[in-house]
Amino acid sequence: MKNKQKITAIVLAAGRGSRMRSSVQKQYMQLNGYPVIYYALQCFQDSEVDEIVLVTGQNEITYCEQEIVKVYGFTKVKCVVAGGAERYESVYNALSVVEDADYVMIHDGARPFVTADMIHESIIHVKEHGACTVAVPVKDTVKEVSENGFGIKTLNRSRLWNIQTPQTFDRELIKKAYLQMMGNGDTDITDDTMIVERYMGHSVKIIHGSYQNIKITTPEDMTMAEFILRNPAEPS
């Protein structure tokens, strides 16, 4: 009899980060003395997840194994696998090595401020709903704009959320969705919740995340990340 449901975290660190305008990939840039990727990995290392699959570029596998996993003692990292040219290819490659997990949690390695509470709440909700993601309500007014740059209509802000990661799924659900998506040759996928909605018709539970759970994409984001490290407290 199976006593405990197994949870695998997939941490994505294969992006090239062209908008960062740096010779160093964003996930390896130093943030308060540690590479950006360190923070997410440390949070998952200390969490309820059972194992971690780290996804990086083909040429960075050895570097990650030696300079990240080994140096910082991330014992939950099961393996480091090569990502693809697009995010969805990286997730698919990771799912291919996840064999016996009940649930998978997919997280952007460039989001260093994932928290234990986000992980815990995600685990609770995925067991009930099969799919969930952390997110935050949109703060600004959002307009739909025409191709020639004119506002068409103002959307109802009270029903709009900015989607973050981690995004957590029943493993069979997300794997079947990916197989269908890859077989269909879909190329306009922006995140994993979109895949299960489109191909499995499965609704995704929204969990309140944090405005500090930023994704580091530009140099300005690094400045914000340094500020957050100095001022980590935020009411939920």
Kindly report the CATH class assigned to 7-228.
Answer: alpha beta
User: Residue 34: which pLDDT band, with cuts at 50, 70 and 90?
Assistant: very high
Contacts for 207 with CB less than 8 Å, ≥ 6 apart: 118, 121, 122, 125, 132, 133, 134, 135
* pTM of the entire predicted model: 0.92
pLDDT tens sequence across 170-210:
999 999 999 999 988 887 888 999 999 999 999 999 999 99
**49: confidence class by pLDDT, cuts 50, 70, 90:** very high
What is the pLDDT at residue 4?
A: 81
**What six digits make up the tokens of 212?**
């500090």
Burial class (CB in 10 A: 0-12, 13-18, 19+), 188: exposed
**Better-predicted residue by pLDDT, 232 or 9:** 9
